Amino acid sequence: MNFEQLLKRAKNKDPEAKEQLYEMFRPLLIHQAMISGRFSEDLYQELSLTFLFCIDSFKIEKALRLIKDNENRQKKSKNKGMESF
């Protein structure tokens, strides 16, 4: 299953999908919960709750449209560069 499918399942309240996403991003959450080289359990909990909330509020269709637009711009830019040769 790809990331997009996993995110869609998680947004549809699939607890396994949410858990998989959480596990994917857990190292980042742990890293961000470090303050002056020490792990902050309170910050980690807040980051974890915020992450789970963001899954529910994430606008996947808008994000996919932005990604596609960006890819199209990159292709056009690349093709323009090739024309100069």
* Cβ atoms of residues 10 and 60 within 8 Å: no
Residue 35: DSSP 8-state: E
pLDDT tens readout for residues 15-25? 999 999 999 99
Per-residue pLDDT band at 84 (split at 50, 70, 90): low
- Tell me the domain boundaries of the chain: 3-83
**Helix, strand, coil tally for the chain in percent (to 5):** 80, 5, 15
Q: Report in angstroms the alpha-carbon separations of 25 from 41, 44, 83.
A: 16, 12, 41
pTM comes to: 0.71
